[in-house]
Chain A
């Protein structure tokens, strides 16, 4: 699931950069040809509208799985502001723990939640700019067609920002990559796993 998402995300981001260039949102800001999927707008759009199915369907399955299995609640909640601050302080002191890669620290939890919401937002704003007449209610909710475009662009920037940190950290802690390829470490029974957090 993660790797389908990773491939679909890369396709959506790089083809989106190809589409962006015909009518830039930030004046003077272009993506160089090297980073674009598709020679010009038409192939970029083809990639974008092919990738969307993989991203949306895979994402939907991921969300359903996350909620039904309780994985989201177990792994991503709760987040306490104090824990976030503590993790940042620890990180700055190079005291970050990753012996047990199945337990996320507060900053990880926060970032994963942010990127999940950014992904959902991309689908919603994407629908709005794909079908602004059929979904005209959604477009006005988002503040108009051009605002929806800017939101779609912003969502991309958030995801790319996450990706840079996410990939850099994964490369720094290689055992996470191995775990992702091989299916993860053998987990202890539920009760013993989550430190102190009661699992319902």
Chain B
């Protein structure tokens, strides 16, 4: 098709020929300059001091969409690879939003686990009660969102066993946790019922040490490290999105691996 921008009376070709070298040099210089400033402009996004709100909103919307895709990719019957006990790292790697020196130990004797939300039995649990339930051990890889990983050995009550015991509505959407270090967290029900999701009380066959969540922490093989709250004080079963510490700061909520 003929371009509507093309003039009806085309100028004499010879005019173009006369000025061709000049045109070419101009063109080339302009393009190089233009290309460079375009490149610089693209790189400016790297500064990212203030993201426009529309960009922010779009990225968050895609992140929520990705949470749904992650839930679809999650196979509740797929087990994470396990490793021999000889590969357990001792002690495990410490990670929290503060330094290990700032850990405030929890007293196991007076500790109680509150249960709330869509459950039949809301009586609080002692550590002995919890340890009387059937236990499971697993040697799995801990994968942090930052990229590091290590192999750890965990023992505890499968969260599925616990939720069944308290008569939780297993069709509810979320299981939320409150912790002694003010690190709210929550996971989807499908991941909560996964056989490799434990309310862990032991590491490498020994009682959990203070920096790693004594007396009870969550340890799930199907989520990134930050979805494993330590020093748990309350469990809630709910249909209202509970969010979490890092999630409210921009990390993906589903965080499945």
Give me the interface of A with B, judged by CB distance under 8 Å: 7, 10, 14, 19-20, 22-23, 25, 33-39, 41-43, 45-47, 49-50, 53, 130-134, 136, 140, 145-146, 149, 167, 170-171, 174, 177-178
| Contact in complex: A53, B62 (CB < 8 Å) | yes
* A56 CB, nearest partner CB in chain B, Å: 12
Q: Is the CB of A133 within 8 A of B252?
A: no
**Contact between chains at A23 and B148 (CB < 8 Å):** yes
Whether A133 contacts B46 in the complex (CB less than 8 A), given A22-B147, A23-B148, comes out as no
In the complex, whether B16 has a CB less than 8 A from a CB of chain A is: no
CB neighbours (8 Å) of B73 from chain A are 131, 134
With known contacts A23-B148, A171-B31, A43–B250 Cβ distance under 8 A:
yes
Q: Is the CB of A146 within 8 A of B149?
A: yes
Smallest CB separation, B39 vs chain A (Å): 8
| Minimum Cβ distance to chain B for residue A159 (Å) | 15
**Interchain CB contact under 8 A, A133 and B250:** no
Closest CB in chain B relative to A44 CB, distance in Å? 9
Residues of B in contact with A (beta carbons under 8 Å apart) = 27-28, 31-32, 35, 39, 42-43, 45-49, 51, 58-60, 62-63, 66, 70, 73-75, 78, 80-81, 141, 143-149, 221-222, 246, 249-252, 256-257
Does B46 contact A35, Cβ atoms closer than 8 Å? yes
Determine whether the beta carbon of B59 is less than 8 Å from that of A50.
yes
List the B side residues contacting A19 at CB < 8 Å. 147
- 17 residue pairs of the A-B complex, CB under 8 angstroms, read A23-B148, A34-B46, A35-B43, A35-B46, A37-B46, A38-B48, A41-B251, A43-B48, A46-B63, A131-B257, A133-B81, A133-B221, A133-B257, A134-B256, A136-B78, A177-B31, A178-B31
Query: B149 near A133 (CB under 8 angstroms)?
Result: no
User: How many whole Å from A149's CB to the nearest CB in chain B?
Assistant: 6
Contacting residues, chain A, for B256 (C-beta < 8 A): 131, 133-134
Closest chain A residue to B196 by CB distance? A133
Q: What's the Cα separation between A47 and B47 when bound, in Å? A: 14
Q: Across the interface, which residues of B come within 8 angstroms of A45, CB to CB?
A: 145, 250-252
Q: Is the CB of B74 within 8 A of A134?
A: yes
The 4 residue pairs across chains A and B that have the minimum distance between CB atoms: A42-B250, A22-B146, A23-B147, A50-B62
Which A residues are CB-close (under 8 A) to B252?
45, 49
Residues of A within 8 A of B39 (CB): 167
Is A46 touching B62 in the complex (CB atoms < 8 A)?
Answer: yes
Cβ–Cβ < 8 Å partners of A167 in chain B: 35, 39
Q: A35-B43, A45-B145 are in contact. Are A133 and B32 (CB under 8 A)?
A: no
